[in-house]
Amino acid sequence: MIKCSFCGFPIEEETAQRGCSGCPFKGNCRNIKCPNCGFEMPEEPKWLKKLKGWGRKANG
C-alpha cells in the first residue's frame, strides 16, 4: 500500500488507476493516479519496495 504524496490517501498498488489516459507516452510511463484527488505520482521502484520490506523484517 502506498499513500498519495499530495493528499495522503492510501492506495492499493494492485488496483491503482494508471495516470496515462491523456498522455502522449500512453502506457510507457509508470504513474499512479490517486482516486481521491487525481494527483499523478510515479510508481515506487521495485528496489525501494524491497529495501522497505527488509526494514520491516528487521524491526518486526
Domain boundaries, the chain: 2-59
Task: Name the grid cell of 48.
Answer: 525501494
Question: Please, what is the end-to-end C-alpha distance for the chain in angstroms?
Answer: 18
Strands 10-11 and 31-33: unpaired
pTM equals 0.62
CA 47 to chain centre: 14
Per-residue pLDDT of 3-48, as tens digits, reads: 898 999 998 877 777 766 666 666 567 788 888 998 988 887 888 7
